[in-house]
Amino acid sequence: MKKKSQSMLMKLMSLVTLFISVFPLWGQTLKIETINVAPFGYIGNDGKSTGMMFEISNSIAEAAGLKYTNKIIPYARTIIHLQQGKSDFVLRFTNEQLPAIAVPLVSVITMPIIILSKAGTHYRSIKDLHGQTVGVVRGGEFDVNFDNNTAINKVEVNNYTQMLKLLIKGRIDACIGTNVGLYYNAMQLGIKPEILNSPLHLSSKDFVLHFSKKKMDTKTMAILKKSVKKLKSNGEIQKIVNKYIGDFK
């Protein structure tokens, strides 16, 4: 009887081990964070969290069949939380700090990086920005040539909304960011297209799923990577993007 009980216990333990190997986050909750930069992540008028990357992150977790939470926090703080293991993953641009603390698991979407200024200005290259003051979202690295150019005066701001307000008031000469981020916030602020100049296109950059090395789990990461590929191929990610960019290109 004793041997039979031991045998059953061993089989049960084997089943539990197998289950955990297939579902590594069984009984746990995936901790997601989203950057607090509209339209990627923000608090709506109803007081609820929303945004393009907020929705995409949720869809990735749901497609993977994982329980999750998703908090919207300041852009720069996402790096600290990945490093400390307070979050599992975040969708954001990479920078020189991230490779040491997070795995760039998979590209989620590619966006153009532009310089936006008021009508009447003529910025045709980065050299034209020498001596000018350009707003940059705090913690963001958008274009390597721009980032490393010391002849450009850079002013850090909390978000695109603050940046565009400074531009309209004439306190900065231009803004740098994604076309989606800048145009969406300009629309929300009621800034008419004719007030803005045609953008200077610098490059393109990927929003990448960065998974914390402190929380690294190869099986979970593989499941998430597979989920992203599925959502890209079936058009679900693009559907979410279209909700926020409308006709902007």
Residues of the chain with pLDDT below 50 are 15-23, 248-249
Instruction: Report pLDDT digits (tens) over 86-118.
Output: 999 999 999 889 999 999 999 999 999 999 999
Is-above-0.85 flag for pTM? no
Start-to-end CA distance of the chain, whole Å, equals 72
> Looking at the domain covering 2-110+207-245, what would its CATH class be?
alpha beta
Residue 28: per-residue pLDDT: 80
Residue 81: per-residue pLDDT: 97
Residue 188: per-residue pLDDT: 86
Considering the domain 111-205, what is its CATH architecture? 3-Layer(aba) Sandwich (3.40)
Span(s) in the chain for CATH 3.40.190.10: 2-110+207-245, 111-205
